[in-house]
Amino acid sequence: MKTILHALSAGNIEVENSRRLADLKQLDATRIFLKKMDTKVYNGEHVVPIRLYFPTENAMSAGIEEGSTFPVLLFFHGGGWVTESVENYDRVCSRMAQATAHIVVSVEYRLAPEHRFPVPLEDCYAATRALYTNQLIINTDPEEITIVGDSAGGNLAAAVCLLARDRGEFMPRRQILIYPALGNCYTEKSPFRSVQENGSDYLLTAVKMEDYLNLYQSSPSDRNNPYFAPIVEENLKNLPETLILTAEYDPLRDEGEAYGKKLREAGNQVEIHRISGAFHGFFALGFKFLHVQESFGYINQFLNASYEKILHLSINDEKIK
């Protein structure tokens, strides 16, 4: 197994080949057929495609009917800001809708290197603002929206929450970061042990992460921008309640956990769970995999506990009135 992993981990990122390999996921013989709807939002004059996944027929009706709302997961896919798409993540989002009983809103942000930082982030921010200000076809309650992202999507989720806090147009209540890419260095100078321990033989390598950063950045100075690398943000106060899931054999493991600890030290509510025995990217595997089941256990526990807090606060507010 180690020999196979080592062979699969070799080489740098070649954009077109990587994209063709990622697109093979669209040839999915076991695709989950779920009620879906394609729509769009605007980032300036650019159209940002959006796909909605409804866990049930009732959820579709409840999400669209006037006067009703349904809980939502706003999802940003991974792929190093360079590869992957809403279509490639179709199975992941369908399964997420079913496993959490949420409407999943998946965002087709533009990719680097054709569209470098901050374009992908601004696409995600525009989609988030549209959802939080009820500009999509579904009716939304900001209290029932959770921002989710895996890998580079976790980076975008964290950065969107920072932007939302700083711009003051809306404020997310919850974020779920799945093995997020939050750092700005994957060379031997990295302060994180997991980059050295897991950076060569576990599919995602330190070399590939450096390639992804180089393709995403508009200039080297971007690496010191907290919207590019959230781990460098010094002020982490007043951010959403956060769940962070990391993988044991992942070069990104330690930065995700360090970010969670920094959030907690800044006064935010944070849960951090390391999935033992897992590699980077495991969340895209089928639900039969124990690592995926474990992850959804943490996700549902986090969501349910958060909603119970909101309900408790609402009941107390009514009593005070």
Name all contacts of 15-24 with Cβ < 8 Å and 24+ positions apart: 15/82, 15/83, 15/113, 15/215, 18/82, 18/83, 19/82, 19/83, 21/83, 22/79, 22/83, 22/84, 22/85, 22/88, 23/85, 23/88
Residue 3, CB-side half-sphere exposure with 13 Å CA sphere: 0
Residue carrying the six token digits 């940003």:
76
| Inter-residue contact 280 to 251 (CB < 8 Å) | yes
Q: Is the dihedral of CA 287, 288, 289, 293 positive or negative?
A: positive
Phi, psi dihedrals of residue 195, rounded to the nearest 5°? -65, -40
d(CA 126, CA 124): 5
Angle at Cα 309 formed by Cα 176 and Cα 150, nearest 5°? 5
Element (H, E) at 274: strand 270-279
| Inter-residue contact 94 to 134 (CB < 8 Å) | no
Is the peptide bond between 172 and the residue preceding it cis, with omega within 30 degrees of 0?
Answer: no
Residue carrying the six token digits 């929450």:
161
d(CA 304, CA 321): 26
Of 72, 99, 318, the C-alpha closest to 172 is 72
d(CA 258, CA 245): 12
Q: At what angle do helices 119-132 and 152-167 cross, to 10 degrees?
A: 60
- pTM to 2 decimals? 0.91
Q: What is the pLDDT along the chain (321 residues), one digit of tens a residue?
A: 777 777 667 778 888 887 787 777 776 655 666 789 999 999 999 999 999 999 988 788 777 776 678 899 999 999 999 999 999 999 999 999 999 999 999 999 999 999 999 999 999 999 999 999 999 989 889 999 999 999 999 999 999 999 999 999 999 999 999 999 999 999 999 999 999 999 998 889 999 999 999 999 999 999 999 999 999 999 999 999 999 999 999 999 999 999 999 999 999 999 999 999 999 999 999 888 999 999 999 999 999 998 887 765 555 555 444
**What is residue 201's three-state secondary structure?**
coil
| Inter-residue contact 143 to 175 (CB < 8 Å) | no
Q: Which sequence positions are flagged as catalytic?
A: 151, 250, 280
d(CA 120, CA 43): 10
